Amino acid sequence: MSPKKSMMDAALIQKAILQAFYKLDPRVMIRNPIMFVVEVGFLITLFLIFVPDAFGGTVSTGFNVAVALILLFTVLFANFAEALAEGRGKAQADTLKKTKKEITANKLVGSDIKQVPSAELRKGDIVLVSQGEMIPGDGEVVEGLASVDESAITGESAPVIKEAGGDFSSVTGGTRVVSDRIKVKITSDPGESFLDRMISLVEGAKRQKTPNEIALNTVLTSLTLIFLIVVVTLPFYADYLEIRLEIPVLIALLVCLIPTTIGGLLSAIGIAGMDRVTQFNVLAMSGKAVEASGDINTIILDKTGTITFGNRMASEFIPVGDAAAETVGSWAAIGSVRDETPEGRSVLELMKKQGIPYDAAAADGAEFIAFKAETRMSGMDLKDGRKVRKGAVDAVKKWVVSQGGVIPADLDKKSDAIASAGGTPLAVAVDDTIYGLIYLKDTVKPGMRERFDELRKMGIRTIMCTGDNPLTAATIAKEAGVDDFIAESTPEDKIAVIRGEQAEGKLVAMTGDGTNDAPALAQADVGIAMNSGTVAAKEAANMVDLDSDPSKIIEVVAIGKQLLMTRGALTTFSIANDIAKYFAIIPAMFMLAIPELEILNVMKLGSPNSAILSALIFNAVIIPLLIPLAMKGVAYKAMSSSELLRRNLLIYGLGGVLVPFVGIKLIDMVIHLWV
Amino acid sequence: MVTAISIGITLLLVLLLARPMGLYMAKAFDYETTGLDKWFLPLEKLIYGIGGIRRENQTWKQYVLAIVMSNTVMILLVFLIFRFQGSLPLNPSGIPGMEPTLAFNTAISFMTNTNLQHYSGESGLSYLSQMVAIVFMMFAAPATALAAVIAFIRGMAGKPLGNFFVDLTRSITRILLPISFAAALVFIALGVPQTLEPTAVATTVEGAAQEIARGPVASFLSIKELGNNGGGYFGVNSAHPLENPNALSNMLQILLMLLVTTATPFTYGKMVGNAKQGRVLFVSMAMMFIVFLGISLTAEYAGNPALNALGIQHEQGSMEGKEVRFGVAQSSLYSVVTTASETGAVNTMHDTLTPIGGLIALSNMMLNTVFGGMGAGFLNVLMYTMIAVFLSGLMVGRTPEFLGKKIEGKEMKLIAVTMLFTPILILAPTALALFTNADTISNPGYHGLTQVMYEYTSSAANNGSGFEGLGDATPFWNISTGIVMFLGRYLSLVTLLAVAGSLAAKKAVPETAGTFRTDTGLFAAVFLGTVLIVGALTFFPAIVLGPVAEQLTLTP
């Protein structure tokens, strides 16, 4: 794997070098005012090489050439940084494009199958996809069940099950059906598919500047203008003192003072930040969303699947009234024979484990009643007219009472006991009699507690949402260490919570996968949909997690913060550098006319010319040296903002003051051998 | 030792007065009913009635418009009085009308709280001009700036900005008038004349008759200092024995200059509901002040190295241009205070400060954040605070928040533009003057450069003190400094009130552990770093060619 990767890197670098030259086009450069100033400086010095006395200058051609070359490299380094960041995205896009080959689709027209190229498919068309075929476009499974290999997008090689109805019905164009056969309703027109959007995003074609990037850009532009004024007015001051300042020296001073370091790396930081999110297998619809995730105050997490494993397993049958434990188990099993939910299957498994026999034949020819959010029960209507139900205790109670049944006296006590222990009680009833409870146990994923502690340190509050009753919810909440929870929550509750938090001025993030999560995902400031989720959820969200791992939101927050921190740190570094550059160039500029200024030459640089060139070289080489940092981002560990600031201020603020003193001195020691 | 104690006592008094004064100011501008209303409301109601002022909240645009329009009208009015003072009443000495460019300069100078005086001392103004124009503006100008900063603070606290005319009135009735009245009484007790009698005639020891100019000096003096105006009754300002007779009057002047500007951070803390926010800024500014004062004192006590090398006795430090009754300590303290508070009153000749002493005076004005002028200085401080918040917000990985308000593109654009004003207003006209008007500069070389730079820095920061030595009563100087004073005053006022308007409209974000706190020592460090790096780096080359080169070349 690794040799292949490094070869790709070599190719990437080659491309980026070429791109760096293409980007010299002034029409492209003007988009980055700071580097544009450097390019103009380069053009002026280039002109001076050929017409040295154009402005009455007396500078040697050698010095002019040196300044021009360093300026050229400064611009090239900045262009290279941007091109490299873009190149990484492009490489990813190319891999994706390969999956976007032309596919022949089996379109259903009436009852006939017509073979059409996938590009001709429109929203609403129905296609048939069989084992071994590619799914021709984004869509929803309307009939059948199949396992699908989605590795082209997710990188995950294990196939996933897609089936009609429910939350696992959406399929993506370019993925392959590895078993069975499904009917898919196409949900996007050509050019608008998920893959298309993904390609344009990683290519950076649609990259818009984020709000913080715009704010930073104005500040940097303003600083550039300020230093432009400083340098433009300086010759008048010198002139009054009868000191001559040479044009290339003034240009060198200007280029050293304007924030070229951050100016050269700014767009690379932005692209690389998005790239990091993508490499993390999260697809952000905009850079704005990534930035916003760094500002999140509250995260709303579903309990099931995110905080806990979710597949609550039956662990015990508890009889109520005068029923026997075996009776509870056998009725629960009969009611679950055709129940494909993890809970249902776990009931049968528990029966098997406990070796309790039951009359499976009783379920023959029975009608299966699926679980619904409204009824919160599932079960079987047997042929002999008896109705078996299992489900939420209060729902089953209501159902039994409606048929004139009596509630056993110990039911509430026993179900509360299960709930307060963190389990979920399911009541089992046949017609008007409740026989007992199924004890479903849920387990908190390992390491969740530590992650919530981390979030708390970052100042982020976590709220757990669950359909469980308050007692169960409280137990899990305590075990996982979340800050708050909402029990028996409905999708409307989630929106209400999000709105409530937002009304206080907070930014809210949430994850979701179901269609009923869509409104809440849209309402949240950062909504992350699971790739396994429905199309509606994915469209409402501003990020899609291709691995469908809901706890990943925590890393996304960290990436968002890292993106801003990298910008802030390099800006501080860039500005702090100016102190040393001043102490290199100012004495050099005036030392011949005012020898007493030698005292300001604190670095004891060899000669005026070598001092100026050293500062300029430092200014140029610091850009490629910081490219890895710009790409990787500043290291981020969860800690309070004050600690974080103290650390970054020490490294990038104080470091930014000191590093150039050392760097310029070292360069000068070499340069001074010639100048 | 005695001087150290006297400086210590003065600064201790400044420290003791700052907080109570700040809290008083917060109360004075509180639109809710307070105990102060009993005393001041009747008078204010009368003023509101006469002025037809409806006490309604204004939007930031209305507030800015009220400031700029009212100030422009006042400038025009005063310009006309200066121009035609010769034919207007109350002119017993028959002083002629002012030359147009000088009238332009003087009108702007007093309306912008600068008090740069290009006219010749006591003989340039009629009594009408003195009383109606000068004294009136000495109240109106600081009151305007104070109103502006209060409006800005209200915006940051998420409240409506208020009403300019109400704030202007309250600045005068509740702060400037009562305090300057009380201070005038003390000045009289200390020997400052307060009379409407004509010039006194005395016979000197040698038998010659001497005319001693006098007048209502004490009342003029107290608002000159309290309002950070700085324009002298006498040409030589507070170096004149009748305008500053002794050490005690000198100390009172220093207290008055610093009173409102050191109190403003506490007013701010009170109004935004977090006293620590104000205290952090106060301590940061006080630190800069102490360091600058230390440098100035050291430089002045060390004296001129070239003269010292000649074996001239210099135990008292550099006494050139200083009053013997104040000595080096009180003179350099005064020079630091007057430039830190952008007052511009002088008790010593700034031209003859040692180059480093002059550099400190210059730096105070360039930064305009070492407390700074009434209102305007603290506005500038809050601008730098927001830049510091922006940088540190990014460094902790969050959209920057200040007092719960997000600082976003719109605010940063306005602030980025505001950052440009001071460098442009100082560096560009200095270059222009050096290039076109070198003949009006009395000194060649580095000192001449400093003279020019000082003049524009003083104008841009609305300080008004002069380095002197410039032949500055020419149309070029009158017009150019007039423009710089005007723009130095109003440009940033407009952009920063726009920021306040935008912040006031924002929903406050609740504070969490992830919020970056702006009321800590760490933030004070970031703030100081921002002021020194962003603010000072701009002027580094110019300073090297001016005072620094001068100091270094003085070495024998």
Whether residue A652 and residue B395 make contact (CB cut-off 8 A), yes or no, is: yes
d(CA B117, CA B127) in angstroms, rounded, equals 17
Burial class of A111 by CB neighbour count within 10 A (0 to 12, 13 to 18, 19+): exposed
* DSSP H or E segment with residue A112: strand A112-117
A325-436: CATH topology is Calcium-transporting ATPase, cytoplasmic domain N (3.40.1110)
Residues A629, A570: Cα–Cα separation, whole Å? 9
The distance of B388 to chain A (nearest Cα, Å) reads 10
Asked whether the beta carbons of A645 and A283 are under 8 A apart, the reply is no
Handedness of CA A495, A501, A505, A510 (dihedral sign): negative
What number is the average pLDDT over the span A447-470?
A: 84
- The amino acid at residue A2 is S
Decide which of 3.20.20.70, 3.30.1490.100, 3.90.950.20, 3.40.50.1000 is the CATH code for A295-308+444-546: 3.40.50.1000
Whether A201 shows a pLDDT value over 70: the answer reads: no
Residues A540 and A529 sit within 8 Å (Cβ to Cβ): yes
- Percent of chain A scoring above 90 in pLDDT: 27
The amino acid that residue B476 corresponds to is F
- Does B509 contact A at CB distance below 8 Å? yes
pTM: 0.84
The residue type of B179 is I
Residue A1 has pLDDT above 50, yes or no: no
3-class secondary structure, B361: helix
In Å, how far is A293's CA from the nearest CA of chain B?
9
**Separation of alpha carbons B288 and A526, rounded Å:** 43
pLDDT of residue A205 exceeding 50, the answer is no
Q: How many CA atoms lie within 13 A of A230 on its CB side?
A: 31
Is the CB of A506 less than 8 angstroms away from the CB of B446? Answer: no
Give Cα A441 to chain centroid, integer Å. 32
User: Cα dist. B347→A143, A451, B106, B473 in Å?
Assistant: 94, 65, 21, 22
User: How close, in Å, is residue B343 to chain A by CA atoms?
Assistant: 27
Give just the sign of the alpha carbon dihedral B510, B514, B517, B520: positive
Measured distance CA(A601)–CA(A616) in Å, rounded: 16
First to last CA, chain B: 30
Domain borders along chain B are: 27-268
Nearest to A645 among B395, B413, B545 (CB): B395
Is A128:A106 a contact under the CB 8 Å cutoff?
yes
Distance CA A160, CA A171 (A): 10
**What is the C-alpha radius of gyration for chain B, rounded to an integer number of angstroms?**
23
Residue B414, helix vs strand vs coil: helix
**Which among A110, A99, A149 has a CA at the least distance from the CA of A129?**
A149
Strands A508-512 and B209-212: unpaired
pLDDT, tens digit (0-9, with 9 covering 90-100), for A40-77: 999 999 999 998 887 777 788 889 999 999 999 999 99
CA distances to A319, A481, A524 from A507, in Å: 47, 21, 8
Which amino acid makes up residue B64?
V
| Residue B417: per-residue pLDDT | 95
- A595 sits in which H/E element: none
A460 in Cβ contact with A299 (< 8 Å): yes
What the block records as the tokens of B440 is 């009006």
Confidence of residue A167 (pLDDT cuts 50, 70, 90): low
Partner residue facing A561 (CB), from B397, B435, B513:
B397
Asked if residue A532 has pLDDT above 80, the reply is no
**Average confidence score pLDDT of chain A:** 85
For residue A271, what are the contacts with CB-CB under 8 A and spacing of at least 6? A82, A85, A86, A88, A89, A204, A207
Give the pLDDT confidence score for residue A37 in this predicted structure. Answer: 96
Mean pLDDT, rounded, for A616-643: 90
Tell me the sheet residues that pair with A545: A282, A530
Q: Token pair of A72, please?
A: 């050229």
Helix (H, G, I), strand (E, B) or coil at B318: coil
Minimal C-alpha gap between B107 and chain A (Å): 29
**Res. A569 pLDDT band, cuts 50 70 90:** very high
Residue A53 CB neighbour total at 10 angstroms: 9
Domain boundaries, chain A: 2-91+202-279+558-671, 122-189, 295-308+444-546, 325-436
Eight-class DSSP state of B546: I
Q: From A288, which residue of chain B is nearest by alpha-carbon distance?
A: B399
Which residues on A lie below 8 Å from B460 (Cβ)? none
pLDDT at A4 over 50: no
The segment with the largest mean pLDDT, out of A5-14, A157-166, A259-268, is A259-268
Coil, strand or helix at B522: helix
Test B412 with A565 for CB contact under 8 angstroms.
no
The whole-angstrom separation of Cα B177 and Cα B226 is 10
Average pLDDT score over residue span A252-264: 95
Where would I find the H helices in B84-191? Answer: 100-111, 127-128, 136-156, 164-170, 177-189
Region A175-187 average pLDDT = 85
Please identify which residue in the block is written with the tokens 């009776």.
A327
What is the length of chain B? 556
Q: What is residue B128's predicted lDDT score, i.e. its pLDDT?
A: 84
Interchain contact, B397 vs A568, CB within 8 Å? yes
CA B41 – CA B53 distance, rounded (Å): 14
Q: Which CATH architecture has domain A122-189?
A: Distorted Sandwich (2.70)
Residues 6+ apart with CB under 8 A from B209: B201, B202, B203
**Statement: residue A258 has pLDDT above 80:** yes
Residues of B in contact with A561 (CB under 8 A): 396-398
pLDDT of A203 reads: 65
Report the pLDDT value the prediction gives residue A6, as an integer from 0 to 100: 44
CB-based contact A564 B399, cutoff 8 Å: yes
- Give CA–CA dist A303/A444, Å, rounded: 9
CB pairs under 8 A between A and B: 206
Tokens standing for residue A538: 């994915």
Annotated binding site of A for ATP: 339, 343, 371-378, 390
Report the Cα A12 to chain-centroid distance in Å: 23
B:524-553 residues touching chain A, CB 8 A cutoff: 525-526, 529, 533-534, 537-538, 540-542, 544-545, 548-549, 552-553
Asked whether this complex has an ipTM greater than 0.85, the answer is yes
Please give the structure tokens belonging to residue A33.
């005012």
Least confident range of A152-156, A474-478, A562-566, B264-268: A152-156
Q: Which residues of B, range 387-416, sit inside 8 Å of A by Cβ?
A: 387, 390-399, 404, 407-409, 411-413, 415-416
Residue A395 confidence (pLDDT) above 60? yes
φ and ψ of B402, to 5 deg: -135, 120
Residues of chain B with pLDDT under 50: none
Please name the member of B413, B431, B544 whose beta carbon is closest to the beta carbon of A233: B431
pLDDT at A125: 87
Q: Taking a C-beta distance cutoff of 8 angstroms, is the pair B368, B422 a contact?
A: yes
> Where do the H-state alpha helices sit in B190-235?
217-226
Q: Strands A126-129 and A104-109, how do they pair?
A: antiparallel
Alpha carbon distances (Å) from A129 to A113, A138, A149, B176, B276: 11, 12, 13, 85, 68
> Which residues of A are annotated as catalytic?
302
Chain centroid, CA A522 distance in Å: 17
For residue B438, the chain A residues in CB contact (below 8 A) are: 240
Beta carbons of A504 and B510 less than 8 Å apart: yes
The stretch A522-551 carries a mean pLDDT of: 82
- The span from the CA of B363 to the CA of B372, in Å, is 11
**CA-wise closest residue to B262 among B490, B473, B24, B504:** B24
> A6 vs A104, which has greater pLDDT?
A104
Distance separating alpha carbons of residues B339 and B359, to the nearest angstrom: 11
Closest by alpha carbon to A517, among A492, A498, A486? A492
**Residue A611's closest CA among A63, A26, A46?**
A63
